[in-house]
Chains A and B, each alone.
Chain A
Amino acid sequence: MLDKLKDFSSRFFVTGEPMIYGADVAILLTLAGIIFVLTYLKKWKWLWREWLTTVDHKKIGIMYMLSSLLMLFRGGVDALLMRIQLAFPQWHFLDSNHYNEIFTTHGTIMILFMAMPLMFAFFNIVVPLQIGARDVAYPFLNAVSFWLFFFGAMLFNLSFVIGGSPDAGWLSYPPLSGMQFSPGPGQDFYIWGIQISGIGSLASGINFIMTILKMRAPGMKLMHMPLFTWSVLASCIIIIFAFPVLTVTLALLFIDRFFDGHLFTMTGGGNPMMYINLIWMWGHPEVYIVVLPAFGIFSEIVATFSQKKIFGYKSMVFSMMIISVLSYFTWVHHFFTMGAGANVNVFFAITTMAIGIPTGVKVFNWLFTMFRGRIQMTQPMLWTIAFIPCFVVGGATGVMLSAAPADYQYHNSYFLVAHFHQVLIGGVVFGFFAGLYYWWPKMFGFKLNDRLGKWAFWTWNIGFYVCFMPQYALGFMGMTRRIYTYDFDMGWGPLNVISTVGAFFMGIGFIFQAWQILHGIKYGERDVTGDPWNGRTLEWSIPSPPPHYNFAVIPTVTGQDAWWTIKEERKKKKAKETAVFSPIHMPKNSGIPFIMSVFWFIAGFGLTFHWVWMAIFGLTGVGACLLARSFQYNSDYYIPVDEIRHTEDSVGRVG
C-alpha cells in the first residue's frame, strides 16, 4: 500500500529538480500567506461578495489585468531562464528536456494567458464606457468567461509542479504531442488548460460584438464609435471565426490521445499535416486578435495627446476590417515548406504581403495625426511613439519571411524568433502598456509616477533592441530555434551573451513597473476630474473610478469624439443643465460563474489524468450549474433614484 502510494506520488508530483522543489515551497508559502492575510483581516466575505461573484465589467476587467500581469511575470521568468541557458556555448544550466518544457510554457503563457486576458481587460474596462453603456450585453456570461480563463490558466500552470509540463512547443504539433512521444499528462494539461479558457474567449467574442452592436448610447452611429471600440469589434469578429477551429483542433488531438484515434498519427492513415493546417488556421488570426486592439489603443492615445481629431478615421476603420478578413487567409505562410506546391504558396505569400498595406495606412494616419498637433509627451504617448519604429522593422522582416522561396532559408531560424518577438513585444505588449498607462487613472482614480515610468520605458526599450537585434544576425548565421545548446566553434557565443543582457534589461523594466504601481497606490496623485488627459471619448466624462452603474444619465451622442463635443458645447453655453435621474436596471451578483468554472477545472484535471470518474463528476457539476442558472428568474434589480443621487453627490457630480 505504502509502496503504491510512493510510486503514485513520484509520478504525480514533479520531482528531481531542485528548482522545482523551490517553486513548490514558494507556492505553498504564497498560498498560506494569502489564506492567513484574508483570515486575519476578515476579508473572505468581502472577497466573495465584491470580487468572486461580481458581474461588474470594470471589476472583471481589473481581475483580468491582475492575472495577466502575473502571467507576464511567470512567462518572463521562463524567458530569462532560457536566455541564461543560451548565453554561453556548451552551458548546462538547464537540460534539454527542461528547456523544451520552458519554451513551450513560455510561448503558450505569453500568448494565451498573458496577451489574451490583458486584451480582455481592456475590452471590459473600456468598451462599455466608450459607447455610453451601463454594462456589457451579457454580464453573467462575461463573468463566466473570466473564470473559465482563470481556471484554465491555473490548470495549465499546475503542470509545473504536478504531472509535468508539456514540451512539444506552443502549438503542440503531432506526432510529438501524440501518445507515443508524449505519454505523460503534460500534453493533456496543455489541451485542457487552453480548451477551458478558449471557451471563455469565444463567449467574450460574442459578448462584445453584441455589446458594441446593441448597447451604444442613443445617437452613436457605427461611424461615430471611438477607434478602440472599432478595433475590439474587428478583433471579436476574428475571434468568433478562429476560436471554434481551435476548439476542434484541441478536441481532435485529445481524441487521438485518449481514445487511441488516428487522426494525426503516422500509423492508421492519420495525417499530422492536417493538424498543422488546423492549428494555424486559428494561430495566425490569433496574432491579429491581439494586435488589432493594440492598434485601437494607439489611435486613441495619438488623438488625445496630439489634441486633434484622428487623421483618416474612415480609412482606419476600413483597414481594420480588411485586416480582419485577410488574417484568415494567410495561415499557410507558417509552413511554406509543407510541399503544397508553388501556386498555393504564391497565394498565401501574396495575402500575407497584402496585410502590410492596410497596416501601413494606419501607421501613416498616426503620423499625420501627430503632424502639427500639440503633442504631449506623456507616458502613454512615449510607448506609442516607441512602437512605431519597432513595428515598422518587425513588419519589414515579416514581409521578408512571407516571400515563400526565401522562407525556405529563414524557416525555424532565430531570424523568425526575432521577427515574431518584435511584432509581439513592439506591437502587442507596448500597445497594452500604453493602454495601461492611459486608462490607469480611469480604473483606479490615481496617476502613476512619471519618473519611474520613464525608467521603465527606457530599460524596456533599450533591452528590447539589445535582446532581439542580435537574433536576426544569429538567424543568418544558422542558429535554429528551439535548440538548447551549441558548440563553441559555431561562433554564436558573443551575440547570445548580448541578447541575454538585453533580456535582463527588460526584466528590470518590469520591476520598475511593479514598483511604479506600488508607489502609485501609496503616493499616486488623485484624479478628481475624471478627465486627467483632456480626453475625447465618453469614458472621460464620468468620475474615476466610475460608479458601478457607469453613467447616472446616459449621454446622447451627436458625432465622433462625443465627450469633446460635449465639452465644447458646455464652454459655449456655460450654464449646466440639471440632471434628471431615473432608476437604473442592473444585474445581480452571482456565484454560479465561479462555481461552474471550478467544476470545469475539476473536469479538466480528471481528463488530464484520464480519471474518468473525476471528469464525469466535474462535467455533471458544470451541467448542474447551467441548469441552476436557467431556473434563476430573479437576477436583476433597480437602483433607486435616491441612491444614485447620493452616489453622484459623493463624487461631486450633481449638477
Chain B
Amino acid sequence: MAYATAHHEEHHHEHDEGIKVMGFWLFLVTDCILFGALFATYAVLVNHTAGGLTGKEFFEVPGFVSETFILLTSSFTSGLAVLSMHKEKIKPLIGWLIVTLLLGMCFVGLEIHEFQTMVHEGATISTSAFFTAFYTLVSTHGLHVSVGIIWMISITIQLKRYGITSVTKRKVTIISLYWHFLDAVWIFLYTVVYLMGVM
C-alpha cells in the first residue's frame, strides 16, 4: 500500500508538471500578442518624429550589435544548462545558469547605458511619438529580461537546495523556454528597430 501511494504520487507529480509546462506555452502565446501589439504601434509611429530627430542619429551600431551578441550567447548557455539537467549533472547545470544570468545582466546594463546616452543627447520618451514608441517597445523587452534574471536567481537557489527533482526540472524547462522566447523577440527588435533604423 505504501508503495502504491508513493507510486501514485510520483505519477501525479509528473502529470502536474507536464500541464504546467504546457500552460506556460500558452502564456508565451499571449506574450507574443503583447509584443505584436507593441510592434504594430511602433510601425505606425516610426515616422512620426514631429519633424524632429530620428533614430538614425542615435542608434549606435557597436552598442546594439554587442547587445545582440550577448543575448544570443546567453540563450545558448541556457540551452547548455538544460542539456546538463537532462544528464542529471547538477554542477554544470548551476554553472551554466549563472553564466546565463551574468550575460543577461550585461545585456540589461548595456541597454540602460544606451538609454542614458540617448537621453543625455536629447532624445527622451517625450521628445516625439517615435521615441515614445521606441522606448516603450525596447524597455518592455528589457523589463522582461530583468524579471527573467530575478526568476533565474531564485531557481538557481532552489536547485542548490533541492537538487534535480521533477519540480525543479520543470522550473528550469520553463525559464529556459522564457529565455529563448526573449531572444526571439530581440531578433525582431534588432531587425525592425535597429537595423531598419540605421539603414
Contact = CB atoms under 8 A, between A and B. Distances in A.
Interface in B124-147: 125-133, 136
A166 to B, nearest CB: 22
Given A210-B26, A268-B50, A623-B150, A256 B158 contact: no
A630 B152 CA distance: 11
A248 B129 contact: no
B34 A268 contact: no
A269 interface: yes
A260 B31 contact: no
A249 B126 contact: no
B30 A259 contact: no
Given A244-B33, A262-B129, A269 B49 contact: yes
Contacts of B23: 137-138, 206-207, 210
A202 interface: yes
B122 to A, nearest CB: 14
Contacts of A630: 151, 154-155, 158, 171
Contacts of B33: 240-241, 244-245
Contacts of A271: 44-45, 48, 129
Interface in A259-310: 259-263, 265, 267-271, 274, 278, 281
A19 interface: no
A209 B26 contact: yes
A342 interface: no
B199 interface: no
Contact of A263 (B34, B49, B129): B129
B129 A243 contact: no
A610 interface: no
B125 A260 contact: yes
Given A261-B125, A261-B132, A583-B5, A210 B22 contact: yes
B140 to A, nearest CB: 8
Contacts of B37: 244-245, 248-249, 278, 281
A252 interface: yes
Interface in A221-268: 240-241, 243-245, 247-249, 251-252, 255-256, 259-263, 265, 267-268
B155 to A, nearest CB: 8
A585 interface: yes
A268 B154 contact: no
Contact of A255 (B9, B128, B130, B132): B132
A627 interface: yes
Contacts of A40: none
Contacts of A270: 45, 48, 129, 132
Nearest to B44: A274
A631 interface: yes
B141 to A, nearest CB: 13
B126 A243 contact: no
Contacts of A251: 136
A265 B129 CA distance: 8
Contact of B125 (A259, A265, A623): A259
Nearest to A282: B37
B20 A274 contact: no
A252 B41 CA distance: 9
Residue of A137, A241, A269 ringed by the most chain B CB atoms within 10 A: A269
A247 B30 CA distance: 10
B34 A262 contact: no
Interface string B17-44: 0011011001101110110011001001
A613 interface: no
A638 B8 CA distance: 11
B136 A269 contact: no
A268 B27 contact: no
A214 interface: yes
A634 to B, nearest CB: 11
B12 interface: yes
Contacts of B26: 206, 209-210, 240
Interface of B: 5, 8-9, 12, 19-20, 22-23, 26-27, 29-31, 33-34, 37-38, 41, 44-45, 48-50, 125-133, 136, 150-151, 154-155, 158, 162, 167, 171
6 contacts: A137-B19, A206-B27, A210-B26, A214-B19, A245-B37, A259-B126
Q: 5 tightest A-B contacts by CB? A: A269-B48, A261-B132, A269-B129, A269-B50, A260-B126
Given A243-B30, A263-B133, 4 more contacts: A259-B132, A269-B129, A633-B167, A638-B5
